[in-house]
Chains A and B, each alone.
Chain A
């Protein structure tokens, strides 16, 4: 039974860095088949994929064009978790942030397990 447990602050000041962590149980962040993704949801932007990290023969990350200059997603194998950092946030980054697993059943995407979500508000 795969479970994803998110943690991190619910309030971030403008221009600061948003940092969230997703702890994995029931699978390994070093899985050679899955990817570990971050997705956010807001009333104005809907559901928006942000990026992912994955291990094949080495660690790789892919990012959405909309946040590519500000985002970093890393894995911590010692804690079996992965993290999201989003720099220079503005109120437009206010959203519920989810982590999710893509088991890579096919060449397309599928997110079969999701974290519980954390509402992050960007405000002074």
Chain B
């Protein structure tokens, strides 16, 4: 059973920069995992932010960026806004019968 691991929680000050990471129990995350990032606020469906490691959707604010960092997928938020307080989930693709696996989420607090 593949496990995708994220930091359970992070805190950042308004205007600051924070990086969330996404690790795979199978080894280093590469572009072949096509990492996705989603934002979810309480009571709402997830909103897509990043696909295929670093590609933004048309609605993704410029302050969000995706990358690979030290064998993990990473989501960096630069110039954090209060409205960025939310849960963030990554999704990694493994192919075959396993398909895709979501991480457990990172609760980002803006304080």
Contact = CB atoms under 8 A, between A and B. Distances in A.
A105 B48 contact: no
A46 B103 CA distance: 8
Interface residues of B, number: 26
B45 A112 contact: no
Contacts of B102: 46-49
Interface in B79-99: 89, 91, 93, 97-99
Interface of A: 46-49, 62, 64-65, 98, 105-117
Interface in B23-40: 32-34, 36, 38
Contact of B100 (A109, A112, A116): A109
Nearest to B4: A46
A19 B99 CA distance: 23
A107 B94 CA distance: 11
- Describe A's contact surface by its main secondary structure: loop
A40 B93 CA distance: 17
Contact of B48 (A98, A107, A110, A117): A110
Contacts of A65: 97-98
Interface in B9-47: 32-34, 36, 38, 44-47
Nearest to B55: A105
Nearest to A112: B48
A105 B51 CA distance: 9
Nearest to A116: B45
A109 B36 contact: yes
B52 interface: yes
A82 B48 CA distance: 21
A12 B48 CA distance: 30
A43 B34 CA distance: 25
